[in-house]
């Protein structure tokens, strides 16, 4: 049996699901500031309601926006030292486009000299970095450095230099998190450095969360493996997640997309997740949530890691509405708890949800609703708000629709009852599946295992096919090790990127395989 | 009319440079980051326009080689000025102003880096008026400004190519040097007096990318941006742009052929264009628009834009499923002369068709 948990901005949900996919129980709690208390309450309740002993749970599957939120509202981020390894130090500064509230976490920058030629052959007679390394080692304590990020030019072609530096640091400081850029992204120094730096400054918040989680699960006598979903919707073990937090920032969204596919039974569909603070629109094709291609951006910082491909509208059910110059406007601010503050519940703030409830009071089956509070609102204003919201959602949906045939649209999330039956006329296929309110937690339970190689290879006396075959074999072994069913393993993508202007044949290969958890 | 470039202008210029690159020209990210790193808030780069040119010696600057490697093996940031100093010692003259070889992509920005470091003005103009793949595909070459003497500079080595017979040969030698030395190099060459440069260059292009960048950055709808973009081109030496199609990208095919990124994709029209299907071919840049027959080819400009915000895509960014708008812009007349078309016309890209100037009024003719 599986325990699925989703920590959202507003609610923390837990579900217990049998191995053949039957929902045994679910629970919902307000997300707590420490996230941990909410998880504990929700998990405990779901287990009790299912009435099964904890030892029957074979895996815990978690999705969370916690890591992304740590960047949104900078919190518990690590003071990071950056080591750059280049032929000659560059005048290009690190983190050029970063917002200052994140940039300030880059505490120290060191320029090391790369000793390899571009084919990765190293001149061992030189050791010009030893003085620099000693300085770094002494600075770690002096400046309270909490995390280290190593970025070497050409490291996607050869990783030995990044590894050597890491080894030396770990000999002196075995506990300090060290991010190596070749493990985070591929070619493109600036984007890879950005991604690696974000990963490094997130190492504190993720470690804290993972340690706390382990404690809670022990308390609950859950002695099974714990998994976190990553940006592409597949699973990572908790110790992996601690090393690569940047790969988990999209876990909430990818769970919602997969959950909608599971709840509706459709392998390919468009998903509208109406939450409290955002409305996210994404797509899943043949059971795989779509991820961005090429470079993407996180808070306008360009990175070369893949993130879920979604259109995110900057408002949700809890967004506040004001009238300005006789026009209804949706503000960026969010009510903390609409059931306290919303007018439909007797509160004093006008939310997006109130606007829908004014016109469609039956959307929510909630006895605490008071139609009286809504009397203060004008029907006309509310209609304008609804028109704008549905227009924006429809536009986002049409952008994701493939050219040949329209995909069905699945509505999920706490705010989805407001949209059901009024997004489109009857002629379009729109589903509002049961379980829409616990969609993310369900989605987490069905995520596959994945392994990916994105590396640059020199074709020294071997053929391209041999390089690809070796990469594939490596992936299969990795998946078996993680516990995948052998017969379920399949190659899902293979891309080649040749290089020009280099002596000798070079090939960048990106291969990805998926497998089901046995 | 002279004007000045400030630090705040750099992201605007980078975006305009990407638009004019027609999908090629090399990603501007690294050069943009370098400029943002070395410029102080109060730094200014003086821009000389065509009427300001006189006796000063003008040299063209840029980079060549693989942009993938340039963006990985980041420059120290001093290669350009070292190339300039070496060039000056070779010709025994001081350079008085810098000009871009190619106003499209990374090479729109490289002269600005050197200008800041050497405290030199830059010239509002360039050799290509867009991006082209070869060093000799310039209006400078057409006006018999020799590419050599040319200086090549990498992280740790350099090379001077003296008095080569012609630009093709110089470009070939430069390529050999680049392949042997980590795949990319800064260069300074195409030197001439201001008076000569004045009649050889494609004028006003630096100002053009600045105006285009401002349009793209503005917070307004795609429709309004399109009107503004058309207006900017109409008030330049380029012709009136025409929207060819808006729709979704399907069937992208891309491969490498002798060092060039080559391929094609299909655009299936949506809304107003819903019954149309267009094929775009590319080779380093977008080179042709077809609906069975040719609608537009290089050197006329083919722009592939994000339908929502008109931000341009380059050839490696186009992916299946993207919503795009295709715009064709008539090239400046200087690129459409018989001699220039031999360098940059459809045949130079391997297209088996003749060149017909894209008219850019309403409607267009097609040919085989």
Same domain assignment for residues A376 and A281: yes
Same domain assignment for residues A210 and A293: no
Final residue belonging to a domain, choices B186, B203, B220: B203
Q: For residues B243 and B255, which has the higher predicted lDDT (pLDDT)?
A: B243
Q: What is the 3-state secondary structure of A21-54?
A: CCEEEEEEEECCCCCHHHHHHHHHHHHHHHCCCH
Q: Which residues of A touch B37 (CB under 8 A)?
A: 91-93, 96
d(CA A354, CA B217): 35
Give the residue from chain B lying closest to A114, CA to CA: B73
CATH number at residue B66: 3.40.1610.10
Final residue belonging to a domain, choices A388, A415, A439: A439
d(CA A235, CA A238): 9
Q: Which residues of A touch B317 (CB under 8 A)?
A: 294
Q: Is B51 within a domain? A: yes
d(CA A329, CA A324): 7
Classify residue B256 by burial, with Cβ atoms within 10 Å: 0-12, 13-18, 19+: middle
Same domain assignment for residues B245 and B185: no
DSSP state of A447: P
Rounded average pLDDT over B34-57: 96
Q: Are B137 and B24 in contact (CB under 8 A)?
A: no
Alpha helices in A309-438 (DSSP H): 338-341, 352-359, 371-374, 379-400, 416-419
Q: Which residues of A touch B78 (CB under 8 A)?
A: 91
Q: State pLDDT tens for residues B120-167.
A: 999 999 999 999 999 999 999 999 999 999 999 998 899 999 977 788
Same domain assignment for residues A425 and A350: yes
Same domain assignment for residues B29 and B100: yes
d(CA B240, CA B300): 11
Give me the helix-helix angle, B205-217 and B222-234, nearest 10°.
Answer: 170
Nearest to B328 by CA among B352, B284, B367, B359: B359
d(CA A390, CA B18): 34
Range of the structural domain that residue A122 is part of: 81-199
Same domain assignment for residues A271 and A381: yes
Enumerate residue ranges in chain A where pLDDT < 70: 117-120, 122-128, 293-295, 336, 402-404, 426-427, 498-504
Q: Is A90 within a domain? A: yes
Same domain assignment for residues B168 and B249: no
Q: How many domains are contained in chain A? A: 4
Strand A269-274 and strand A279-285: pairing?
A: antiparallel
Strand order in the sheet with A147-152: A106-113, A80-86, A147-152, A178-180
State whether A90 and B74 contact (CB < 8 Å). Answer: yes
The per-residue pLDDT for A256 is 93
Q: How far is CA B114 from the centre of its chain?
A: 18
Beta partners for residue B254, in sequence order: B263
Final residue belonging to a domain, choices A439, A468, A503: A439
Same domain assignment for residues B125 and B186: yes
Beta strands (DSSP E) in chain B are 3-5, 45-48, 57-65, 97-100, 122-126, 150-153, 158-161, 184-193, 202-203, 242-257, 260-269, 277-283, 285-290, 294-297, 301-306, 323-329
What does B239-307 look like in DSSP terms, one character per residue?
A: ---EEEEEEEEEEEEEEEETTEEEEEEEEEE-GGGTT-EEEEEEESEEEEEESSSEEEETTSEEEEEET
The per-residue pLDDT for B302 is 98
d(CA B318, CA B286): 11
Least confident among A8-17, B109-118, B297-306: A8-17
Strand A327-334 and strand A319-324: pairing?
A: antiparallel
Same domain assignment for residues B186 and B256: no
Q: State pLDDT tens for residues A340-384.
A: 788 888 888 889 999 999 888 888 887 778 778 888 888 888 998
Same domain assignment for residues B10 and B115: yes
Q: Is B224 within a domain? A: no
State whether A402 and B321 contact (CB < 8 Å). Answer: yes
Q: Is A257 within a domain? A: no
Same domain assignment for residues B68 and B163: yes
Q: Is B365 within a domain? A: no
Same domain assignment for residues B14 and B120: yes
Q: Is B354 within a domain? A: no
Same domain assignment for residues B172 and B314: no
Q: Is B225 within a domain? A: no
Rounded average pLDDT over B203-208: 97
Q: Is B164 within a domain? A: yes
Q: Is A260 within a domain? A: no
CATH number at residue A370: 3.30.420.40
DSSP state of A77: P
Q: Is A338 within a domain? A: yes
Same domain assignment for residues B270 and B172: no
Same domain assignment for residues A231 and A91: no
Q: Which residues of A touch B248 (CB under 8 A)?
A: 402-403
Q: Which residues of B touch A154 (CB under 8 A)?
A: 72-73
d(CA B282, CA B302): 10
The per-residue pLDDT for A277 is 80
Same domain assignment for residues B275 and B140: no
Nearest to A61 by CA among A15, A21, A5, A145: A5
d(CA A343, CA A340): 9
Q: Is A261 within a domain? A: no
Helices (H) and strands (E) in chain A, counts: 16, 23
Same domain assignment for residues A323 and A471: no
Q: Is B366 within a domain? A: no
Same domain assignment for residues A313 and A373: yes
Range of the structural domain that residue B34 is part of: 3-203
Q: Is B362 within a domain? A: no
Report CA dihedral (A308, A314, A316, A321) to the nearest 10 degrees: 180
The per-residue pLDDT for B340 is 95
Nearest to B333 by CA among B203, B195, B155: B203
Nearest to B269 by CA among A428, A403, A405, A399: A403
Q: Which residues of B touch A118 (CB under 8 A)?
A: 73, 182-183
Rounded average pLDDT over B25-36: 95
The per-residue pLDDT for A294 is 64
The per-residue pLDDT for A128 is 62
d(CA A472, CA A476): 6
Same domain assignment for residues A335 and A416: yes
Query: Chain B: which residues have CB within 8 Å of chain A?
Result: 29-30, 33-34, 36-38, 65-66, 68-69, 71-78, 155-156, 178-180, 182-184, 248, 250, 256, 259-260, 268, 308, 316-317, 319, 321, 323
Same domain assignment for residues A378 and A231: no
Taken as a whole, chain A contains a residue count of: 518
Q: How far is CA B86 from the centre of its chain?
A: 25
**Cα of B1 to nearest chain A Cα, Å:** 32
Same domain assignment for residues A403 and A493: no
Chain A, chain B: beta-carbon pairs less than 8 Å apart? 101
Measure CB to CB from residue A90 to each of B68, B75, B183 and give the nearest one: B75
Same domain assignment for residues A33 and A70: yes
Measure CB to CB from residue B256 to each of A188, A189, A500 and give the nearest one: A500
Classify residue A137 by burial, with Cβ atoms within 10 Å: 0-12, 13-18, 19+: middle
Same domain assignment for residues B149 and B256: no
Phi/psi at A311 (5° precision): -100, 125
**Cα of B182 to nearest chain A Cα, Å:** 7
Same domain assignment for residues A508 and A417: no
Give the residue from chain B lying closest to A95, CA to CA: B33
Q: Are B253 and B265 in contact (CB under 8 A)?
A: yes
The per-residue pLDDT for A132 is 85
Cα radius of gyration (chain B): 19
Q: How many domains are contained in chain B? A: 2
């Amino acid at each position: 049996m599986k325990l699925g948990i989703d920590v959202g901005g507003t609610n923390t949900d837990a579900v217990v699901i049998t191995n053949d996919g039957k929902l045994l129980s679910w629970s919902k709690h307000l997300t707590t500031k420490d996230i941990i208390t909410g998880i504990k309450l929700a998990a405990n309740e779901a287990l009790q309601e299912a009435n099964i002993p904890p030892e029957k749970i074979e895996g815990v599957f978690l999705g969370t926006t916690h890591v992304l939120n740590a960047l949104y509202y900078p919190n518990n981020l690590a003071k990071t030292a950056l080591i750059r390894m280049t032929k000659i130090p560059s005048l290009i500064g690190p983190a050029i486009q970063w917002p200052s509230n994140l940039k300030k976490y880059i505490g120290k920058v060191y320029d090391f000299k790369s000793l390899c030629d571009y084919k990765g052959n190293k001149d061992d007679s030189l050791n010009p970095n030893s003085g620099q390394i000693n300085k770094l080692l002494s600075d770690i304590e002096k400046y309270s450095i909490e995390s280290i990020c190593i970025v070497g030019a050409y490291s996607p072609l050869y990783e030995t230099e990044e590894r050597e530096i890491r080894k030396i640091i770990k000999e002196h400081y075995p506990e300090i998190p060290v991010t190596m850029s070749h493990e985070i992204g591929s070619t493109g120094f600036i984007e890879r450095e950005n991604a690696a730096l974000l990963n490094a400054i997130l190492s504190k918040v993720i470690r804290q969360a993972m340690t706390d989680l382990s404690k809670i699960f022990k308390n609950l006598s859950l002695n099974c493996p714990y998994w976190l979903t990553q940006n592409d919707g597949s699973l990572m073990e908790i110790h992996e997640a601690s090393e690569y937090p940047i790969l988990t920032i999209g876990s909430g969204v990818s769970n919602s997309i997969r959950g909608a596919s599971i709840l509706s039974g459709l392998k390919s569909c468009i998903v509208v997740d109406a939450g409290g603070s955002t409305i996210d629109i994404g797509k899943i094709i043949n059971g795989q949530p779509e991820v961005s291609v090429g470079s993407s951006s996180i808070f306008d910082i360009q990175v070369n890691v893949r993130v879920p491909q979604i259109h995110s509208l900057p408002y949700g059910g809890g967004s506040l509405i004001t009238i300005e110059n006789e026009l209804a406007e949706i503000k960026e601010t969010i009510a903390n708890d609409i059931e306290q503050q919303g007018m439909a519940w007797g509160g004093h703030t006008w939310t997006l949800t109130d606007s829908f409830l004014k016109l469609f009071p039956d959307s929510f089956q909630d006895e605490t609703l008071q139609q009286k509070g809504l009397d203060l609102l004008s029907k006309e204003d509310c209609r304008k708000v609804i028109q704008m919201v549905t227009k924006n959602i429809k536009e986002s949906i049409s952008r994701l629709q493939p050219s040949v045939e329209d995909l069905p649209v699945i509505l999920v999330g706490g705010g989805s009852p407001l949209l059901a039956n009024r997004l489109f006329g009857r002629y379009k296929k729109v589903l509002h599946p049961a379980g829409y309110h616990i969609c993310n937690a369900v989605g987490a339970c069905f995520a596959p295992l994945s392994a990916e190689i994105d590396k640059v290879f020199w074709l020294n006396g071997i053929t391209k096919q041999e390089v690809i075959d070796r990469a594939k074999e490596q992936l299969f072994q990795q998946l078996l090790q993680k516990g995948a069913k052998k017969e379920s393993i399949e190659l899902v993508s293979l891309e080649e990127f040749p290089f020009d202007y280099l002596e000798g044949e070079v090939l960048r290969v990106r291969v990805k395989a998926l497998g089901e958890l046995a | 009319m002279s004007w000045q470039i400030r630090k705040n202008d750099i992201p605007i210029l980078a975006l305009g440079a990407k638009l004019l690159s027609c999908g090629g020209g090399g990603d501007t990210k690294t050069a943009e980051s370098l400029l943002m790193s070395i410029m102080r808030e109060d730094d200014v780069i003086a821009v000389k326009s065509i009427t300001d040119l006189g006796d000063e010696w003008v040299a063209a600057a840029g980079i060549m080689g693989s942009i993938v490697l340039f963006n990985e093996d980041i420059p120290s940031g001093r290669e350009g000025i070292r190339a300039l100093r070496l060039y000056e010692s070779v010709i025994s003259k001081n350079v008085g102003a810098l000009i871009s070889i190619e106003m499209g992509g990374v090479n729109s920005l490289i002269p600005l880096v050197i200008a800041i470091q050497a405290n030199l003005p830059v010239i509002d103009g360039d050799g290509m008026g867009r991006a082209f793949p070869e060093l000799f595909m310039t209006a400078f070459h057409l006006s018999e400004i020799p590419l050599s003497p040319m200086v090549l500079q990498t992280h740790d080595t350099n090379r001077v190519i003296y008095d080569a017979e012609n630009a093709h040969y110089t470009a070939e030698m430069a390529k050999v040097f680049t392949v042997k030395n980590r795949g990319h190099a800064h260069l300074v060459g195409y030197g001439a007096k201001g008076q000569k440069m004045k009649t050889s260059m494609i004028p006003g292009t630096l100002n053009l990318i600045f105006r285009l960048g401002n349009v793209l950055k503005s917070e307004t709808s795609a429709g309004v941006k399109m009107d503004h973009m058309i207006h900017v081109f109409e008030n330049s030496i380029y012709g009136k742009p025409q929207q060819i199609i808006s729709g979704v990208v399907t069937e992208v095919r891309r491969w490498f052929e002798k060092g060039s990124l080559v391929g094609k994709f299909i655009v299936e029209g949506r809304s107003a264009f819903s019954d149309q299907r267009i094929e775009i071919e590319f080779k380093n840049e977008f080179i042709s628009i077809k609906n069975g027959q040719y609608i537009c080819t290089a050197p006329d400009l083919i722009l592939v834009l994000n339908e929502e915000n008109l931000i341009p895509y380059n050839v490696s960014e186009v992916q299946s499923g993207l919503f795009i708008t295709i715009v064709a812009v008539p090239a400046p007349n200087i690129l459409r002369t018989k001699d220039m078309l031999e360098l940059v016309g459809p045949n130079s890209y391997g297209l088996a068709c003749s060149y017909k100037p894209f008219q850019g009024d309403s409607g267009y003719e097609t040919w085989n």
